[in-house]
Amino acid sequence: MNLARARSTPDLLLDAAERLFAERGFDATSLRDVTRRAKANLASVHYHFGSKKGLIHAVIQRRLDPLNRERLRRLDLVARRGRPELQAILDAFLAPTMSVWQENPHFMRLAGRILSEPDRDLLDFFLAQFDEIVVRFRAALVRAVPDAPVEELFWRMHFVIGAMCHTWTASDGLEKISGGRCRIGDGEKALRRLVDFCTSGFRAPLNGKEGR
């Protein structure tokens, strides 16, 4: 038997699928592509995951679950220190995405794309994973920016999410457009830029007037 523990078929399928889905998209990746890369049989997808959609869901959940748990863990640390700082909240939300991106850039590219997915089922499944995140981060934001209407907070988090997704999914577009000037590099600097931009954007005056 090998010293390196042999990976199970489901894991091999998930790895292959994650990679291919990220590179080519869900529709452009056939189950034959996945099983070929995983060195598994075509029917094994249906045996372990029921269908192609089941495989997609599993790919998403495997990474999204720890990611969102880490977000909540960090938010807890922030909230425990008294009235939460806006920047610390945004950092708790954004920094874990950078960690995931570092360990596995494929998944973050994939996740960013799902939010603009036309497939309603898939989008709903994805959003359902954020129920607790929404509640907890909203509460923290209300405490950090008490003079802003909740509606405004949602809009600004919407912009934050847009900037975040674009950062991890389209950063090669940035490299191309900037003529190679901007490279995402190790992610740390990109994260700091992202957090700074979002924090400052979040502090925009309310109602177009200067903040009171």
* Binding interface with its own copies (CB under 8 A): 22-25, 27-28, 109, 112-113, 115-119, 123, 127, 130, 134, 150-152, 154-156, 158-167, 169-171, 173-174, 176-178, 181-182, 190, 192-194, 196-205, 208
Per-residue binding letters, 120-139, with DNA (x by CB under 7 A): --------------------
**Degrees, nearest 5: CA angle 80-101-56:** 105
Give the span between the Cα atoms of 34 and 14, in whole angstroms: 9
Question: H helices within 30-130, ranges in order?
Answer: 31-38, 44-49, 52-80, 86-103, 105-114, 120-128
Q: How many residues bind DNA (CB under 7 A)?
A: 19
- For 119, left (φ over 0), alpha (ψ -120 to 50), or beta? beta
Candidates 31-39, 117-125, 143-151, 172-180: pick the segment binding DNA (CB under 7 A): 31-39
Please state, in angstroms and as integers, the Cα–Cα distance from residue 55 to each residue in 31, 86, 166, following that order.
10, 37, 25
Site for DNA in 7-26 (CB under 7 A): 8-9
Give the residue with the Cβ less far from its own copies, 25 or 54.
25
Where along the sequence are the contacts to DNA (CB under 7 A)? 8-9, 29-33, 40-48, 51-53
